[in-house]
Amino acid sequence: MLETEALKSLYEKHCKHGFQYIYGTAGFRYKADVLDTVMFTTGVLAGLRSLYLNGQTVGVMVTASHNPPEDNGVKIVEPRGEMLEQSWEKYATELANCASQSYSSFETKLQELVVTLKVDTKKSGGIVVARDSRESGPHLVSAFKAGAQVLPTVKIIDYGILTTPQLHFLTSKTNELPEGAEIGEQLYYQELLSAWDQVTDLCGIKSLPFHLQIDAANGIGGPKVMEMLSQSDFFSGAYEVVNADWQTYAALNHLCGADFVKTNQKLPHGISSSGNQAANQISCSFDGDADRIVFYYCDAMGHFRLLDGDKMATLFAKFFQDLLHQAGLQDAIEMVAVQTAYANGSSTHHLEKVLGATVKCTSTGVKHLHHEAVKSDIGIYFEANGHGTVIFSTKFVDTVNQRLAASTQDISKSHKALQLLKLFTKLINQTVGDAISDMLAVLAVLSILNWTPQKWDQEYTDLPNRLLKVSVPDRTLFKTTNAERQLVSPAGLQQKIDVLVSKFDKARSFVRASGTEDAVRVYAEAASRAQADSLASMVGTIVE
């Protein structure tokens, strides 16, 4: 570790005083101009995490996802590509707030962490870092690197601009592949495209059954998906990317992108309803850092129809369930679908009652869903907003490999099902929700099932729902239980919500504090649009 004088000089160059930080749902996320200090301390903390994990490489992503262009943020990624171990969020918050107070407070906290965590600062470690396309990115990455220099034995690789899932993927590959292996963006494209080619070859799919429109939210997903698809003969002429203006900073997430489409339940800027009415047209929107995706189309009347995270979860559940049956693995392999309270009641009903799948509900935020999903052999997790993926256990991979080795009937249905199961473990980025990889996986499933967007949509009908954002004096007073479905504080509020809910048909409503904005969110669903709207507004009024 650096000597006091060098440490102090770096600190003084990068840290400012007075701001209070919290490591939230997806890391630190604020207006970019207050982030210098926390970037610096996150550099230190990422280094400590790597040393604590015996020198394994940790990842760091500088992004504020779907937030407006003036925001930014940072999050730490574990060596296998998962979100930072929860017990360390506290250390990240404490170190940032001490640095925000004074140099001596920062130094004391740093020494304390080194001792408490028994970190040997002479050993070597590694960090890979990347940023999304925001204007503040380069400056914040420099502050981060300055922090990482506090532990000079920790080596940093800067990948420049990447999507969030690419950074997760490369972090995991850095730890998995032998030293000297060529690791970079290209590896990501090759793995996905090679899985895609094998899936389509196996299933005799020669071309995409629809024309595909991709709304890239004017974020980093645009150039990355174009880079990948330009390397594929299969996709040649089959797609078009709109809102790909990632170098106009102010355009990021503006009137476009997954969050805009999901929240407003309408087409983004740049995509028109006329082109979307054809049965062979499907569109999708990424968010600003391309870790979320939603699909949509327009029906014959020109009405916008959303195919969100819930629809993706049910699509994958049906697909994998069928494959497990065809492969004779339905009893050997356990599958679970993980949702949050925001999942539409109809999707949960469809999963449980129609598909007979096991459904679990967790708090909002990928780390919670991921944590639950890893407990199963196939864990399908999606937030309604389009953030999610499918993860497969080691037992699953071993079982499929063993059965494949024992299966000699190359042309049988069960052999093909086993091959497909194996290929989907490669087509899907299991480290985190990934717009690009999820897009390929959905397109593959629709092509294999020979489903149009309409057919996919008709699997079940969403209950009308409404999401409201309510400003309150202190959102920290809103505490929940039962996977955020019930309030325990403020006292008595849940009872009032229950009374309102009982007045409507098929109704459900819950209230939780946002983890990314200074507000409280109210969700309501009911049998009709009018009922969902009234319930949301009534609950909104008693929350204020």
Catalytic amino acids? 65
Task: Determine if 475 is a binding residue for ligand 16G (CB under 6 A).
Answer: no
For 18: left if phi > 0, alpha if psi spans -120 to 50, otherwise beta; the answer is: left
For residue 334, count CB atoms less than 10 angstroms from its CB and return exposed for 0-12, middle for 13-18, buried for 19 or more: middle
Q: Are 288 and 66 in contact (CB under 8 A)?
A: yes
Task: Determine if 521 is a binding residue for ligand 16G (CB under 6 A).
Answer: yes
Q: Are 128 and 185 in contact (CB under 8 A)?
A: no
> DSSP H helical segments within 412-516, as ranges?
413-427, 435-449, 453-457, 493-501
Q: Are 259 and 293 in contact (CB under 8 A)?
A: no
| Region near Zn ion per CB under 5 A, out of 129-137, 279-287, 407-415, 525-533 | 279-287
Task: Determine if 67 is a binding residue for Zn ion (CB under 5 A).
Answer: no
Residue type, 154: V
User: Residue 44 or residue 366: which is nearer to Zn ion going by CB?
Assistant: 366
CB of 74 to ligand 16G, least distance (A): 12
For the CA atoms of the chain, what is the radius of gyration?
24
Q: Which residue has the tokens 């494959």?
A: 323
Task: Determine if 366 is a binding residue for ligand 16G (CB under 6 A).
Answer: yes
Residue of 300, 287, 286 lying closest to 239 (CA atoms): 286
Among 65, 133, 213, 283, binds Zn ion (CB under 5 A): 65
User: Residue 41 or residue 364: which is nearer to ligand 16G going by CB?
Assistant: 364
Tell me the C-alpha distance between 206 and 236, whole Å. 12
Task: Determine if 486 is a binding residue for ligand 16G (CB under 6 A).
Answer: no
- For the chain, the residue count is 544
Among 78, 291, 383, 438, binds Zn ion (CB under 5 A): 291
Q: What is the DSSP letter of 30?
A: E
| Region near ligand 16G per CB under 6 A, out of 195-203, 301-309, 383-391, 399-407 | 383-391
CB of 367 to ligand 16G, least distance (A): 6
Site for ligand 16G in 52-81 (CB under 6 A): 65
Task: Determine if 175 is a binding residue for ligand 16G (CB under 6 A).
Answer: no
What values do phi and psi take at 363, rounded to 5? -65, 160
CB of 214 to ligand 16G, least distance (A): 21
Q: Are 256 and 284 in contact (CB under 8 A)?
A: no
| Region near ligand 16G per CB under 6 A, out of 145-153, 319-327, 382-390, 396-404 | 382-390
* Total residues interacting with ligand 16G, rule: CB under 6 A: 14
Task: Determine if 166 is a binding residue for ligand 16G (CB under 6 A).
Answer: no
Residue 25, binding choice from ligand 16G, Zn ion, none, Cβ under 5 to 8 Å by partner class: ligand 16G
CB of 38 to ligand 16G, least distance (A): 17
CB of 291 to ligand 16G, least distance (A): 6
Among 509, 516, 531, 534, binds ligand 16G (CB under 6 A): 516
Q: Are 245 and 218 in contact (CB under 8 A)?
A: yes
CB of 512 to ligand 16G, least distance (A): 7
What the block records as the tokens of 397 is 């991979």
Residue 13 CB neighbours (<10 A): 12
What the block records as the tokens of 235 is 């996709």
Residue 287, binding choice from ligand 16G, Zn ion, none, Cβ under 5 to 8 Å by partner class: Zn ion
Q: Are 252 and 288 in contact (CB under 8 A)?
A: yes
Tell me the C-alpha distance between 316 and 390, whole Å. 8
Torsion sign over Cα 353, 348, 311, 399: negative
Residue 385, binding choice from Zn ion, ligand 16G, none, Cβ under 5 to 8 Å by partner class: ligand 16G
Task: Determine if 511 is a binding residue for ligand 16G (CB under 6 A).
Answer: no
The two most distant CA atoms of the chain are separated, in Å, by 70
**One character per residue 319-358, x = contact with ligand 16G (rule: CB under 6 A):** ----------------------------------------
User: Residue 65 or residue 283: which is nearer to Zn ion going by CB?
Assistant: 65
Site for ligand 16G in 9-28 (CB under 6 A): 25-26
CB of 35 to ligand 16G, least distance (A): 17
CB of 144 to Zn ion, least distance (A): 19
Tell me the C-alpha distance between 336 and 356, whole Å. 10
Tell me the C-alpha distance between 359 and 143, whole Å. 43
Task: Determine if 289 is a binding residue for Zn ion (CB under 5 A).
Answer: yes
Q: Under 8 Å CB-to-CB from 78, ≥6 apart: which residues?
A: 58, 59, 84, 85, 171
Give me the residue whose beta carbon is nearest to Zn ion: 65
Residue type, 244: A
Site for ligand 16G in 387-446 (CB under 6 A): 387
Residue 9 CB neighbours (<10 A): 11
CA 232 to the chain's CA centroid: 25
User: Residue 291 or residue 434: which is nearer to Zn ion going by CB?
Assistant: 291
Task: Determine if 525 is a binding residue for Zn ion (CB under 5 A).
Answer: no
CB of 22 to ligand 16G, least distance (A): 12
CB of 75 to ligand 16G, least distance (A): 7
Among 43, 365, 386, 540, binds ligand 16G (CB under 6 A): 365
User: Residue 59 or residue 125: which is nearer to Zn ion going by CB?
Assistant: 59
* Total residues interacting with Zn ion, rule: CB under 5 A: 4
Task: Determine if 71 is a binding residue for Zn ion (CB under 5 A).
Answer: no
What values do phi and psi take at 213, rounded to 5? -115, 130
Residue 534 CB neighbours (<10 A): 18
Q: Are 204 and 448 in contact (CB under 8 A)?
A: no
User: Residue 82 or residue 525: which is nearer to Zn ion going by CB?
Assistant: 82
**Residue numbers at the binding site for Zn ion (CB under 5 A):** 65, 287, 289, 291
**Residue numbers at the binding site for ligand 16G (CB under 6 A):** 25-26, 65, 364-366, 383, 385, 387, 514-517, 521
